[in-house]
Structure 1
Amino acid sequence: MKPIPPASLWLVGCGNMAGAMLRRWIETGTIDPAQVFVVNREDRELPAGVRQGREFPEGPLPDAVMLGMKPQQIDLIAETHGARIAGVKLLISILAGVELASLADRFTAGAIVRVMPNLPVAIGKGVVGMAGEHNHPADTLMQPLGLVEWMADERGLDLLGVLAGCGPAFTYRFIDALAAAGTGLGLPEDQALRLAIATVGGAGLLAAEADAPPSTLADRVASPGGSTRKGLDVLDADGAIRKLMQATLEASERRSAEMAAEARR
């Protein structure tokens, strides 16, 4: 029998990431909005048909509950809603840095799965890391969001979160810097930004479909002694771009570890 996603879903919190996931599920017909309930501190603009409130409704539990609030709110949520959702078949957490053991200490569920998505899930081009005991309904639920990777352990999930979860923000900074550099050379600001966005978007799509790694693609673009090669010489000098990205990811990893430690207390 083909695995099917949860038919009903409750969410705790529905900010940028959880909201992007929810909208994608509804757009693709993965979930019926009438079967979704969101608990928020205040009402948000949600897809048509999705109910929301301060407390979960009376009646039986849904097939799944997803924790989508800020990680720092975990104790408050456990105290406020833990008893109501106790015994749910599937608990999904997208809380960065909050480990399975910390979740199990606070919530009772048939299965607990950690999920680490990134923002392009909004258009089905995201990366979704998963950890915990392999769960077919959770896996099926995530498939419309993009590339789904089950990690061997939570360490791998945290590293995926640093690379893929934080990565879009770093990519946006690069796009902004590329556009600013174009403006510095004399292009109009709005035109430089359009060109930078299209360049990075197209290059990413080509890299995804290419028969060679990005390093080879870069060499294919750069003719010996040409203008691209001269620019690459700046990025490659003393490993400049690699060192910058290593330091960037390490800073994010340190903060992820700090948040995990805070959740264990």
Structure 2
Amino acid sequence: MAEGSLWLIGAGNMGGAMLRGWLSSEGWNRPITVIDPFAESLPDNVTLLRDIPVGADQPDILVLAVKPQQLDAVRNIFADKPGAPRLVLSILAGVETSTLGSVFSARYTVRAMPNLPVSIGEGVTALYSGDADDQVRAEAAALVTPLGMVEWIDEEGLFNAVTALSGCGPGFLFRFIDAMAEAGEALGLPGDQALRLATATVKGSGLLAAQSSESPAVLADRVASPGGSTREGLNVLDDRDALKALLRQTLAASAKRNAELAAAARVS
């Protein structure tokens, strides 16, 4: 891992998870400066600043982990700074590489879309860059590999779909777990027990699907014996493709909102 300076702007849920992943990586030796007015309890070997330093040189790597709406505030500060970062890695939802390039003038720009399970090293991070060479792509991937699975996206236009699927997906699954537990409680189970059962069932099924050579559709049919109780439940989900239609609508709504955020970022 190279030793040039790295600034992490924002150490909230995602930024903090990335920070923990880096510091726990074997052989990590790059100095990290976290810039966050609200961050607390950071490791001793991390420099914490409450504001972006006005007179300091720009870092080798700039990682943006703030809300997309905060881009203008960051833009205004960096506009007056000489030079440019070598690499910008941005997790700002909806903010395209062309917009990032106009703001920071970095040699290389990489968009990243991590999801919440990166906080336990089990996340998914999608990456896209239109200007990074193989060496920089490997470097960017190394920055997020400690957080879980890494997937490169070939077309930036697909980032709206990626955001809806894997970026927003944990929120949808948490809602599904809650609904499963509530349905179990409606059948008479104590609420806390129903939640434990629902959570463990989703966890185990996800692990099995990840390790299996068979598709989730085949696995579902393996659970469902003809005329059995699982098949009766699946008949409800499969009727007129009810579950598939609901998820298509759900992801489409999220992708549409992400496209709106991108349009707003271009205008600003």
- Do the aligned partners of 2:9 and 2:35 also contact (CA within 8 Å) in 1? yes
**Amino acid aligned to 1:254:** K
Tell me, in whole angstroms, the C-alpha distance in 1 between the residues paired with 2:212 and 2:174.
23
Tell me, in whole angstroms, the C-alpha distance in 2 between the residues paired with 1:184 and 1:9.
51
Equivalent residue for 1:40, pick from 23, 30, 36: 36
Q: Which moved more, 1:46-55 or 1:160-169?
A: 46-55
Equivalent residue for 1:68, pick from 61, 65, 70: 65
Task: For residue 81 of structure 1, report the CA deviation from its aligned partner.
Answer: 3.3
Find the counterpart in structure 2 of residue 26 from structure 1. Answer: 23
Find the counterpart in structure 1 of residue 106 from structure 2. Answer: 109
Q: What's the TM-score once normalised by structure 1's chain length?
A: 0.92
Find the counterpart in structure 2 of residue 242 from structure 1. Answer: 244
- Do the aligned partners of 1:86 and 1:107 also contact (CA within 8 Å) in 2? no
Q: Cα gap change, 1:220/1:250 in structure 2, threshold over 3 Å: closer, same or farther?
A: same
Alignment of 1:4-153 (within 5 A): 4=1, 7-29=4-26, 31-32=28-29, 35-53=31-49, 54-56=51-53, 60-84=57-81, 86-132=83-129, 133-134=131-132, 135=136, 136-153=138-155
- Do the aligned partners of 1:97 and 1:256 also contact (CA within 8 Å) in 2? yes
Secondary structure at the aligned position of 1:128 is classed as strand
Task: For residue 171 of structure 1, report the CA deviation from its aligned partner.
Answer: 0.3
Task: For residue 38 of structure 1, report the CA deviation from its aligned partner.
Answer: 1.4
Find the counterpart in structure 1 of residue 230 from structure 2. Answer: 228
**Amino acid aligned to 1:18:** G
Task: For residue 57 of structure 1, report the CA deviation from its aligned partner.
Answer: 8.0
**Amino acid aligned to 1:62:** P
Find the counterpart in structure 1 of residue 191 from structure 2. Answer: 189
1:85-127 Cα deviation digits (max 9, x unpaired): 7421111110000001111111121111111111111122111
Cα-Cα RMSD: 1.8
**Amino acid aligned to 2:48:** Q
Tell me, in whole angstroms, the C-alpha distance in 2 between the residues paired with 1:162 and 1:95.
14
Q: What's the TM-score once normalised by structure 2's chain length?
A: 0.91
Tell me, in whole angstroms, the C-alpha distance in 2 between the residues paired with 1:207 and 1:42.
39
Tell me, in whole angstroms, the C-alpha distance in 1 between the residues paired with 2:200 and 2:28.
32
Tell me, in whole angstroms, the C-alpha distance in 1 between the residues paired with 2:16 and 2:71.
18
Is structure 2 residue 173 aligned with structure 1 residue 176?
Answer: no
Alignment gaps of 5+ in structure 2: none
Q: Cα gap change, 1:114/1:30 in structure 2, threshold over 3 Å: closer, same or farther?
A: farther
Find the counterpart in structure 2 of residue 212 from structure 1. Answer: 214
How many residues matched? 261
Tell me, in whole angstroms, the C-alpha distance in 1 between the residues paired with 2:161 and 2:83.
30
Q: Which moved more, 1:53-62 or 1:126-135?
A: 53-62
Tell me, in whole angstroms, the C-alpha distance in 2 between the residues paired with 1:55 and 1:106.
15
Alignment gaps of 5+ in structure 1: none
Tell me, in whole angstroms, the C-alpha distance in 1 between the residues paired with 2:59 and 2:27.
15
Q: Cα gap change, 1:61/1:105 in structure 2, threshold over 3 Å: closer, same or farther?
A: closer
Q: Cα gap change, 1:218/1:108 in structure 2, threshold over 3 Å: closer, same or farther?
A: same
Is structure 2 residue 256 aligned with structure 1 residue 254?
Answer: yes
